[in-house]
Structure 1
Amino acid sequence: MATFKLYKEGKDYHQISIKKIRDGLTKIAPLECFEFTAHAPGEHWVSIASPELTSICPFSDYPDFGAVTIEYVPNKRCLELKSFKLYINAFREVKIFHESLTELIFADFLEAVKPLKARISIDMNVRGNVKTVCKKYYKCSPQ
């Protein structure tokens, strides 16, 4: 898998813009979908999870480990799981804050799938006696 640096190394570290990160990830691991039609009444919820989310801590340069769960009500598309796995794995070399990681994954997911409703939870492992859980919710506006 191709990798690319999304940060500047050294003491003058700063995170490269989220747009540059999105553009880079989209090139090496785009999220793919397949067509979906519900055939029974009621809301059809889909839940996908990856317990192997990794990224790099911007301050310590140590890896951050966690899990990501996305739940959604599909509109006309569902997320293809292999592309999701490759997309999540692409964060291994990315220096990014947990909050920005949540925003980025969710924005890319919403753009690809265009669900009726969705929620994301990123549950990072404890580091330095501190645990981070980031959540975000989305509901499609009526047309």
Structure 2
Amino acid sequence: MASIRDGENELSILGRKTEYRQDYAPEVLEAFTNKHQGNDYWVRFHCPEFTSLCPITGQPDYATIHISYIPDVKMVESKSLKLYLFSFRNHGAFHEDCVNIIMKDLIELMNPRYIEVLGDFTPRGGISILPFCNYGRLGTKYEELASQRLASYPVR
């Protein structure tokens, strides 16, 4: 039977002193091997303290970022994801850019079967923005899932 410490050598951030990056830092993302590659299942993260900067005004934007994915071989390690999302704090990007950047970085890291990212941004000027993006591996049932989920947006 595999122990909890199996795969520990894949990770360098977990269990060490936390160092926060001051700008966008995709290099902090780490992945580990999925022990249940034969199963389809959801992994969901909710980050209610996401902050980025408006690239025009420099004013802070706040959001809850919702990330849901169906893993394949690799999975994102949660502390590295937290540090990655925190790295947007001083990064100037529009809301729509943030969710697409997050999704693309996670695809590059893990190559999941399916992934979606929703940004639930707090209102500015009386308008809230809820950008949603998703991806399903091309040529698979996950590509069809992506089309169905996008067509049924909004997701909440």
Q: TM-score, normalised to structure 1's length?
A: 0.77
% identical aligned pairs? 29
Other-structure match for 1:25? 25
Other-structure match for 1:56? 53
Mapped partners of 2:65, 2:133: distance in 1 = 12
Other-structure match for 2:147? none
**Superposition deviation, residue 140 in structure 1:** 0.6
Other-structure match for 2:32? 34
Aligned positions of 1:39-118 closer than 5 A = 43-118=40-115
Residue 117 and residue 96 in structure 1: after superposition, are their counterparts in 2 closer, same or farther (change >3 A)?
same
Other-structure match for 1:123? 120
**Superposition deviation, residue 38 in structure 1:** 1.9
Aligned AA (1:91): F
Q: TM-score, normalised to structure 2's length?
A: 0.71
Greater share of strand? 1
Mapped partners of 2:73, 2:47: distance in 1 = 23
Other-structure match for 1:14? none
1:3 paired with 2:1, answer: no
Residue 71 and residue 2 in structure 1: after superposition, are their counterparts in 2 closer, same or farther (change >3 A)?
closer
Other-structure match for 2:4? none
Structure 2's unaligned 5+ residue stretches are 1-19, 141-156
Structure 1's unaligned 5+ residue stretches are 5-23
Structure with more contact order per residue of length (Cα contacts < 8 Å, sep ≥ 6): 1
**How many residues are matched?**
121
Other-structure match for 2:154? none
